[in-house]
Chain A
Amino acid sequence: MRSLALGGAAAFAGTSGARAAAGGDPAITELKDWNSYLGEGVVSRPYGTPSPFEAEVVRRDVPWLTADATSSVSFTPLHDLDGIITPNGLCFERHHAGIAEIPPDEHRLMINGLVDRPLVFTMDDLKRFPRENRVYFLECAANSGMEWRGAQLNGCQFTHGMIHCVMYTGTPLRYLLEEAGVKTAGKWLLAEGADASSMTRSIPMEKALDDCLVAWKMNGEALRPEQGYPVRLVVPGWEGNMWVKWLRRLEVGDQPWEQREETSKYTDLLASGKARKFTWGMEVKSVITSPSPQAPIRHGKGRTVVTGLAWSGNGRINRVDVSVDGGRNWQTARIDGPSLPMALHRFYYDFDWDGSQLLLQSRAVDERGFVQPTKNELRAARGDNSIYHNNGIQTWLLTSDGGLENVEVS
């Protein structure tokens, strides 16, 4: 399924590399260009880009999902990534009116409403507030939303790729609010973006004062335009829609505003015909990223690394279990790397594959003791029209040829 136009020969040599012909492996016995000739000098790539052999590691979209590419979504290539940090250029995008291109000198952030002092900040002003660095996942409320009715898209990039995890640098939102002086009646905050959708969401003051950030850097550099340059809101553990990009205004009020993105959208219809509103937190979730439909096993049977991601809006991940028989039996996987609250966690399950057909699953448990449910448990509680907040256990069918497919199991 994956085109090997650029990396094909190298990939083939790599997978069969251990098996040398009688005379030896030409990767060793032949002098290569890069063993002899000079490469490019410094600053030949002033802003470095990935090797051309990684050209397939890109964001992708599913054109039939939306009416138009400017109010749409692209997906992070989770199947090709490792660790817990998403490279900036690969972080999924979700815009409602395209990418606003904002000169930072022309950007302002206003605080108004129930405050003692309505204020206006420039970007230079914001950068004089005390800073913090925090690693958080940002997951779209609709991540896995196309899978409510059953297995549909073939690859974790498409089923789980509306997520990224970066280190944000910014200032706690409460410092800005303290500067304006929130009045006692101020229980809600409206955050608004500067793009043509003027994205707005109501946020309870308790969350705003707790751990939200106003961030202007991601992974050490300025936010990418598609991630809200010059400044965005960070709302740890909560649905991505609330992380307002191109943040231009914060209004304090005594009631929620019931904006379009918290009434028509980002409300979760139940089988009863009633809909949940204000479903802010992202629930405990995990997915095996490799092997997966876009990352088949090419090495044959034997030693195999199963890896994936787990996360929870409730805090840290305590444990991830892996099943190879569709959830009948489970083994606890190994979490490696930092375990940070409301951040991605990387897990590994190393085993000897005997070449038989398997049904791979992962199941996360978070620090509040919530266990990731099966999709059938979610459907039993909600029906299948909720669109958002699908954190059900994913199953990959691994066939004996090493290929994988998105399936549902009994």
Chain B
Amino acid sequence: MSKFPEALFLAALIATGAAALAPVAAEEPSGGKLGLGRAATEAEIAAWDIDVRPDGQGLPVGSGTVAEGEALFEAQCASCHGDFGEGRDRWPVLAGGYDTLTRSRPEKTIGSYWPHLSTVYDYIHRAMPFGSAQTLGDDDVYALTAYVLYLNDIVSDEEFELSNENFTSIEMPNAGGFIPDDRESEPHYKTGAEPCMVDCKPKPAEITMRAQVLDVTPDSEAEGEGAAGGQVD
């Protein structure tokens, strides 16, 4: 996506100044303790509150089929995510990766890792396509969600139609894969343990790995390109 043109930005600023003079909505007192803010209208809440929960709360009425989703995906998504959700370049992989979560290089996709289908609908709807978010209609998002299920072999029928009616009947393969935060049970977090100060290792420490061997740091003399593992997100 191109950078916001400066002229357009200035124009927006000027337009805003004018708009600020007109009331945006009927001024109703907030009714709160300090009397700050105003009541949100139904239309305002409907415009912004698009989130969907695992129990289906927030799903709009609508539907879409795998076949419809395939056409949309090819037009709107495949240039980054690949025709089969395999991900081009470093763009995210959406499908596959089953049974890789215990491997040294796990592939965490919607099918192999995501616990809830609601997150797929919600995220596509709010944030995709990358660079022109919130341009998809409710039925488009149902269709794309159905197609992502198909790419992940969670549904196999191209005629399958996903709707607000059958949405919560879909169970994701890794639904049971998440546990609450139990970091404090790890042995090194035993509270009140006084750390060792003297002769804490039987022998002098030895170097087991060096960053200069990888040489992937920017500005280093021979900058590497993507050779290393590790991720930021």
Contact = CB atoms under 8 A, between A and B. Distances in A.
B169 interface: no
Contact of A67 (B17, B53, B90, B218): B90
A110 B40 contact: yes
Contacts of A378: 186, 188
Interface in B195-233: 195-201, 203-212, 214-221, 224-233
Interface stretch (B125-133, B144-152, B155-163): B125-133
Interface in B127-180: 127, 130-131, 133-134, 177-180
A33 interface: no
Given A178-B32, A179-B37, A273-B102, A152 B214 contact: yes
Contacts of A60: 218-219
B218 A377 contact: no
- A interface residue count range (under 10 / 10 to 19 / 20 to 34 / 35 or more): 35 or more
B84 interface: no
Interface in A142-201: 142, 145-155, 158, 175, 178-181, 190, 192, 196-198, 200
A178 B206 CA distance: 57
Contacts of A151: 209-211, 214
Contacts of A371: 188, 193, 195
Interface residues of B, number: 104
A276 B181 contact: yes
A264 B113 contact: yes
A328 B211 contact: no
B51 interface: yes
Interface in A334-382: 359, 363, 365, 368-371, 373-374, 377-378, 381-382
Interface of A: 1, 60-68, 70-73, 96-98, 101, 103, 105-106, 110-113, 116-121, 125, 128-129, 142, 145-155, 158, 175, 178-181, 190, 192, 196-198, 200, 248-249, 251, 253, 255, 257-260, 263-265, 267, 269, 271-281, 283, 293, 321, 325-330, 359, 363, 365, 368-371, 373-374, 377-378, 381-382, 385, 387, 389, 395, 397, 405-410
23 contacts: A70-B131, A72-B232, A97-B127, A103-B12, A120-B38, A142-B232, A146-B228, A146-B230, A146-B231, A153-B216, A154-B211, A179-B34, A255-B55, A260-B127, A263-B119, A265-B233, A271-B102, A274-B179, A326-B204, A326-B205, A359-B205, A359-B207, A408-B210
- The 7 residue pairs across chains A and B that have the minimum distance between CB atoms: A326-B205, A146-B230, A179-B32, A67-B90, A406-B211, A373-B188, A64-B226
Interface of B: 1, 4, 9, 12-13, 16-17, 19-20, 25, 30-34, 36-40, 44-45, 48-49, 51-55, 57, 80, 89-92, 101-102, 104, 106, 108, 110, 113-116, 118-119, 122-123, 126-127, 130-131, 133-134, 177-183, 186-189, 191-193, 195-201, 203-212, 214-221, 224-233
